[in-house]
Chain A
């Protein structure tokens, strides 16, 4: 049901903090994972046990330093585990669904509180803008979605500029920021049994507002333009080797990716430590051999391992020291792949990962 929480002094953050506190105070959960303001005023996810500390909670701060699905996974993975809630942005919630399918997270004792997301800044841009602004940064962002949904914000993280999934609708609790007139009310959508425990009453849920639809349409257009540009590069003269020419194989993109969970990634194993004469053999075959080698193998293997589950969070792009469009390449490749298998990461936890399942009667022409 939809519940309208009243906002005092035009400060929806206080309303949100109180709402979150009630989960701990009413012992619905033992701990809460949420973005928090550190004493030095940066924002980071933290696992909170003391409700009093939730006056530092700041899920509205438009910054995504890490994809917290990884950490929601770590606290839910195996018994004994707490009853927990996690405040997540849609791309984090989708990644959590994928991790659950990969047995790297469990939703059994974990409540997702999903936030409607108007976009985020990189930590650096966020800190910079925060110093320059005298009002909270989310104010303009959410106002823009409602007033001029079609206008782009070029300061946002590149992944956010082309994100067409700003709402995660299947969460048990959703902070409906797009529908809220944030100076007056905060609308939350809560499953009935949880609303009961929180002692809240509201109305039956209705559909999406036209502003959100317009916003999604604008983002979809931006996405398609970006896809067309990168595809022209990938399929043209440059190819993927050209696009990734400046890659230094630091593996940052892999380290920050919420989907890349393997503890012993093959690219960090000794499989890729070759004997001296192996390098020489390659150098002789091709006349020369780039060092480090296997850059393309790394990127194509990673795509092969996880593009089907890529949620488009763009952590990889933010982390790349060579400023390569890693996330955009991933999303462009992933879109076709996901289409082939009629798969959308994060859609449903019951949907099996495409590469661990099959049907005998599909693609019967292949191999003949």
Chain B
């Protein structure tokens, strides 16, 4: 893997793929927008009906494809519109991160956050925080890994 120089790191803009539940976090993101809250443009949002609909394979595809971070957003525990989707998502994310760690990946590139429809500010803050955390990590080595 090529070494990343200091100069590259300063210019490096992480790319974050976000899988957001339609009812809470996506609406929260929408609220952040309509409230004109500023957050970094590093995030690419994919809307799903529920955090329980995030197939871990999507997360793997993004990670192996070189995404610098993956954010999964859902309703707070107890608030899932399908009762238990987020509880199941929680176990799935824990399992996936454990597998990635055992396989030698940096599992901290994957974040799960509960953000409700009214938490526009929390959404903006999460994107800021995650963008900085991923910037600090540097580019996902998978970006150049063509032999996988």
Contacts and interface: CB of A to CB of B under 8 A. Distances in A.
B124 to A, nearest CB: 17
Instruction: State the majority secondary structure of interface residues on B.
Output: helix
Contacts, number: 117
Interface string A33-68: 000000000000000000000000000000000000
Contact of B60 (A297, A358, A368): A297
B148 A241 contact: yes
B148 A234 contact: no
Interface stretch (B6-14, B41-49, B85-93, B130-138): B85-93
Interface in A248-304: 266, 282-283, 285-290, 295-297, 300-301, 303-304
Interface in B29-85: 56-57, 60-61, 64-66, 74, 76-78, 84
Contacts of A241: 145, 147-148
B77 A304 contact: no
Contacts of A341: 91, 95
Interface residues of A, number: 46
A286 B146 contact: yes
B100 interface: yes
Interface in A306-362: 307-308, 332-333, 336-337, 340-341, 354-360, 362
B98 to A, nearest CB: 5
A297 B64 CA distance: 7
Contacts of A359: 87
A307 B143 CA distance: 27
B90 A239 contact: no
Given A358-B91, A360-B87, A366-B90, A304 B146 contact: no
Contacts of B147: 241, 245, 288, 290
A80 interface: no
Contact of A340 (B60, B94, B146): B94
Of A341, A357, A367, A368, chain B has the most CB atoms within 10 Å of the CB of: A367
B99 A287 contact: no
Instruction: State the majority secondary structure of interface residues on A.
Output: helix
Nearest to B100: A300
Contact of B146 (A231, A238, A289): A289
Given A236-B104, A354-B91, A287 B144 contact: yes
Nearest to B147: A290
A44 B99 CA distance: 35
A333 B99 contact: yes
A235 B101 CA distance: 8
Given A239-B104, A297-B57, A336-B98, A355 B92 contact: yes
A240 interface: yes
A217 to B, nearest CB: 25
B113 A235 contact: no
Nearest to A301: B57
A304 to B, nearest CB: 5
Given A297-B57, A358-B90, A308 B95 contact: yes
A304 B145 contact: no
Nearest to A303: B99
Contacts of A303: 99, 103
Interface of B: 56-57, 60-61, 64-66, 74, 76-78, 84, 86-88, 90-96, 98-105, 112-114, 143-148
12 contacts: A241-B148, A282-B65, A282-B146, A289-B146, A297-B148, A300-B64, A332-B102, A333-B98, A360-B77, A363-B94, A367-B112, A368-B114
Interface of A: 231, 234-236, 238-241, 245, 266, 282-283, 285-290, 295-297, 300-301, 303-304, 307-308, 332-333, 336-337, 340-341, 354-360, 362-364, 366-368
Q: Lowest 3 A-B CB distances belong to which pairs?
A: A358-B87, A240-B103, A239-B104
